Chains A and B, each alone.
Chain A
Amino acid sequence: MSRREPLIFELSGEGKRAFFLPPLDVPEKKEILEDIKLREDIPGFPEVTEPEIVRHFTRLSQTNFCVDTSFYPLGSCTMKYSPKINEKIASLTPFLNSHPLASEDLIQGNLEIIKLLEDYLCRITGMDFFTLWPAAGAHGELTGMMIIRAALTRRGRPRKIVLIPDSAHGTNPSSAHICGYRVQEIKSNEAGTVDLEDLNRMMTEEVAALMLTNPNTLGIFEKDIKRIAEIVHSKGGFVYMDGANMNALLGKFRPGDHGVDVIHLNLHKTFSTPHGGGGPGSGPVGVKKELEPFLPIPVVKREGSKFVLETNRPLSIGRIRSFYGNFLVLVKALAYILSLGAEGLKEVAEIAVLNSNYIRKNLEGIYYLKYSTPTLHECVFSDKWQRERGIQNIDIAKRLIDYGLHPPTMSFPLIVSGALMIEPTETESKAELDAFIEAMKKIAQEAVENPEVVKTAPHNAYVRRLDEVAAARNPILRWEKKD
């Protein structure tokens, strides 16, 4: 089965062409090109025939495991199925042909889309204002933290520390660090949530903010969020919510109503604009009224029946992205919101949570579940019981490929050793979930009866087990021509 597809450069042969033009039968007019610096040749550019090029790329596309062919329990975090209608709408000519330098009066429709999406996101999250410019989730985190820093600086001093639970998204500490803060980790309690006593002890007037992922990376809802916010606010800090898992809360819980001051969303997760190769991402940031003056510029404003871009905002953190964010992603998110409506969005959350719990219930007792607290859109098992027989999460993941399924997220969150984090998302049918559960049960059985077959998986994939260690220690980063 294993076969290496040659690189396009290796298929190349001098003089090969996809097509040949007939000889020129009109007078040559080279002088009209005189001022243009024409490139004579591109060194090393591959030369291949049409069938070679078609077959090469088709074969490559067929070796790819994708959400359009199979179940992908990495979940919304990386790859959930995104309705095709969003793509269709974002591909409409007026959107594609909008020029980033076009003047305000020529992009009124686009500005209306931006404003409309801001309004919807405010209504969904309970925040007062949104900026849609951040280009991805982590960029949103940084933008949100810069807003907090600007507000605290204006109050007197930016403070020094940001508190982050150990069940948060891994990007949170980096964002706080890049924004000039020292990170202090809050350990999870036995229920897998923030320990209020710990928070109380650690929350001082040096703490700028708490960055809370809710539901956290264990899929557990931080139900004490109101109390958490009170503790943080009592010392003058801000509550930042990482809203990457917002798909579990749509229509059920508005963070803005429960003390959250800043939130970022991942449009490419919750609002189904593709990610992970289909991207780019988009990480809008929502804030409460108090923080509005610090939003990045430009700010889209309604003036009568017109939309304008406001840039004269002295307290703003400034521009964080060229032009207008990833505009076509915004169009897709708005299409998703409008096509589902309020009731539909609520159902997204319900089915996402139901699907995850269906898997959890069926695999409980077969795979070890460290936290018994109820979970929302994802559940985190571990390889603890299989490890007794020398089988690790990576072996289970590789074996799933043999069953035609993509592995779930592995070894994250770090607080569960040997983690298998499963997020089916709302788009999967019961039949699809049953097939996954069945495969996971079979693998657990194989781990007992025939561990070798699991340890040496995958057996049916395009390539067998890759030597990740050698690849990381001695990476070959570019192709070089052999003479």
Chain B
Amino acid sequence: MYPQNFYYTRDHEWVRVEGDVAIVGITDYAQKQLGDIVYIELPALGTHLEVHQSIGSIESVKAVSDVFSPVSGEVIEVNEELNNSPEVINQDPYDKGWIIKIRMKNKEDLNQLMTASEYEKYVESLEV
């Protein structure tokens, strides 16, 4: 359910690392909690992000939530497809539903994140 080689945050973002680039999305748990996503606000290319800075917001039928940057760095690509088809996040949160790519400033930011098994335990601990 949670890809093994990814990193995870307490706010339910995931990170996949490719060299010094972090690809960021939200987890399957997050998309289920949000329900049908209807709109996503994406940051401008070149935006410099600090850890836990808001990178935009996701609007579902139920609520609007911020998405936070798990790492610091510069936005080098955003998933333009989400502008027209935000439902991709619901359908495929770990692959086609990626949100942004960040060129990391400090790879050590990753040490603060959870592994798949830690995240799984964390989700179980959240009472519904």
A residues neighboring B (CB under 8 Å): 370, 382, 384, 387, 411, 414, 417-418, 468-469, 472-473
Q: CA A302 – CA B10 in complex, angstroms?
A: 57
Q: CA A473 – CA B40 in complex, angstroms?
A: 11
CB pair B63 A469 closer than 8 Å: no
Check if B21 is an interface residue, CB within 8 A of chain A.
Answer: no
CB pair B128 A417 closer than 8 Å: yes
**B84's closest neighbor in chain A, by CB?**
A473
CB pair A472 B38 closer than 8 Å: yes
CB pair B128 A468 closer than 8 Å: no
23 contacts between A and B (CB under 8 A): A370-B127, A382-B128, A384-B128, A387-B128, A411-B62, A411-B63, A414-B63, A417-B33, A417-B128, A418-B128, A468-B36, A468-B61, A469-B36, A469-B38, A469-B61, A472-B38, A472-B39, A472-B59, A472-B61, A473-B38, A473-B39, A473-B86, A473-B87
Q: CA A387 – CA B128 in complex, angstroms?
A: 11
Q: CA A472 – CA B39 in complex, angstroms?
A: 8
**B127's closest neighbor in chain A, by CB?**
A370
Interface string of B61-96 (1 = CB under 8 A from A): 111000000000000000000000011000000000
Q: Which residues of A contact B128 (CB under 8 A)?
A: 382, 384, 387, 417-418
A284 → chain B, closest Cβ, in Å?
29
Q: Which residues of A contact B127 (CB under 8 A)?
A: 370
Report the 10 A-B pairs with minimum CB-CB distance, sorted nearest first. A472-B38, A469-B36, A417-B128, A473-B38, A411-B62, A468-B61, A384-B128, A469-B61, A472-B61, A469-B38
Extra contacts besides A382-B128, A411-B63, A473-B39 (19): CB < 8 Å: A370-B127, A384-B128, A387-B128, A411-B62, A414-B63, A417-B33, A417-B128, A418-B128, A468-B36, A468-B61, A469-B36, A469-B38, A472-B38, A472-B39, A472-B59, A472-B61, A473-B38, A473-B86, A473-B87
Q: Which residues of B contact A472 (CB under 8 A)?
A: 38-39, 59, 61
Q: CA A469 – CA B86 in complex, angstroms?
A: 11
Which B residues, 113 to 128, have Cβ-Cβ distances below 8 Å to chain A? Answer: 127-128
Q: CA A384 – CA B61 in complex, angstroms?
A: 19
B81 → chain A, closest Cβ, in Å?
14
Q: Which residues of A contact B39 (CB under 8 A)?
A: 472-473
Q: Which residues of B contact A382 (CB under 8 A)?
A: 128
B89 → chain A, closest Cβ, in Å?
13
Q: Which residues of A contact B36 (CB under 8 A)?
A: 468-469
A384 → chain B, closest Cβ, in Å?
6
**A417's closest neighbor in chain B, by CB?**
B128
**B65's closest neighbor in chain A, by CB?**
A414
B122 → chain A, closest Cβ, in Å?
15
Q: CA A468 – CA B38 in complex, angstroms?
A: 10
A69 → chain B, closest Cβ, in Å?
27
B33 → chain A, closest Cβ, in Å?
7
B73 → chain A, closest Cβ, in Å?
22
Q: Which residues of B contact A473 (CB under 8 A)?
A: 38-39, 86-87
Q: CA A473 – CA B89 in complex, angstroms?
A: 14
**A415's closest neighbor in chain B, by CB?**
B127
Q: Which of B33, B38, B86, B87 has the most CB of A within 10 A?
A: B38
**A392's closest neighbor in chain B, by CB?**
B35
Q: Which residues of B contact A418 (CB under 8 A)?
A: 128
Q: Which residues of B contact A370 (CB under 8 A)?
A: 127
**A393's closest neighbor in chain B, by CB?**
B62
Which B residues, 1 to 50, have Cβ-Cβ distances below 8 Å to chain A? Answer: 33, 36, 38-39
B119 → chain A, closest Cβ, in Å?
18
Q: CA A418 – CA B62 in complex, angstroms?
A: 10
Q: CA A417 – CA B62 in complex, angstroms?
A: 11
Q: Which residues of A contact B33 (CB under 8 A)?
A: 417
A201 → chain B, closest Cβ, in Å?
18
A419 → chain B, closest Cβ, in Å?
10
A409 → chain B, closest Cβ, in Å?
12
Q: Which of A382, A468, A473 has the most CB of B within 10 A?
A: A473
Q: CA A469 – CA B89 in complex, angstroms?
A: 14
B9 → chain A, closest Cβ, in Å?
16
Q: CA A36 – CA B86 in complex, angstroms?
A: 53
**A387's closest neighbor in chain B, by CB?**
B128
Q: Which residues of A contact B62 (CB under 8 A)?
A: 411
Q: CA A473 – CA B87 in complex, angstroms?
A: 9
Q: CA A411 – CA B61 in complex, angstroms?
A: 11
A72 → chain B, closest Cβ, in Å?
21
